[in-house]
Structure 1
Amino acid sequence: MSNYELHPQLAADCHPLGRMEISQLLLMDNALVPWFILVPDTDKREVFELDAEQQYLVQQEINALSGFLMARADVEKINLGALGNLVPQLHIHVIGRNSNDFCWPGPVWGEEQKTSWTEEAAEEISQQLATHLNGGLVNYTPSVSLRPKSQ
């Protein structure tokens, strides 16, 4: 459980997927690109301010998500970012990109075109992550299911 409250903008823009080793894992609510956000449990605002162990764990989480995107989302490129210009809480974007996505080669930030994820799709991604990361270096605990799976 996080010791820090999620910034309201992140809560409004994302689906909570679960917990990783040191971070909350969110899915940006735009199904046009596979876009995760890691929110480390810290009051620090910059990655360089994290201690060495925290930096290592965050990098392991980034690596795990990047591997998932390459293996499961059929992406050509991984974009990483920790801008924090609008949301001061430390958060790291891990985005899968393809040369045919909706805003290639430009950045995804600030684009108005959007297709929201359904709760069912977000839950399916969370379960795929759990399967993909099972037995890996990074712990992942999906959020409690929002609804029972239909038979």
Structure 2
Amino acid sequence: MNSFAKISAVHLDTKHRFSKESVGEIELVAGLGVAGDAHSGVTVQHRSRVRADPTALNLRQVHLMHHELFDWLVQRGFTVAPGELGENITTEGIDLLSLPRGTLLQLGPEAVVEVTGLRNPCAQIENFRPGLLRNSWAMPMVGRS
């Protein structure tokens, strides 16, 4: 299945922090992810996954989130801006949560990423905004950029 995503914002961080800085553009590197981002790499980069098996394939090279999530959170009393939940790409108008694994998602005129699964919200969300964890949707993750 091929899908096209409208991009509303892009983000990266060179360090392993919860939120990512909004930037004007990012570069997707095939097989690695977002150039310069702490989670870029062939093998896992998330600290907990590195501790479990540092040789495991990185299926979280590019983290996507739908802008509609932020609107939904506002209705529940949370103000969260794009990038603050750690995504690399904020999309609009595409139901990321319904995309099956293996979907090829067109991002702009050249980049295509493969959806590798959904990422469940982690406990760090609770430290960021108390009460947010129980109000979060599953978050898409993408590998193999």
Q: Please say whether Structure 1 and Structure 2 have the same fold, judged by a TM-score greater than 0.5.
A: no
Provide TM-score, normalisation by structure 2: 0.27
Would you tell me which structure has more helix in proportion to its own residues? 1
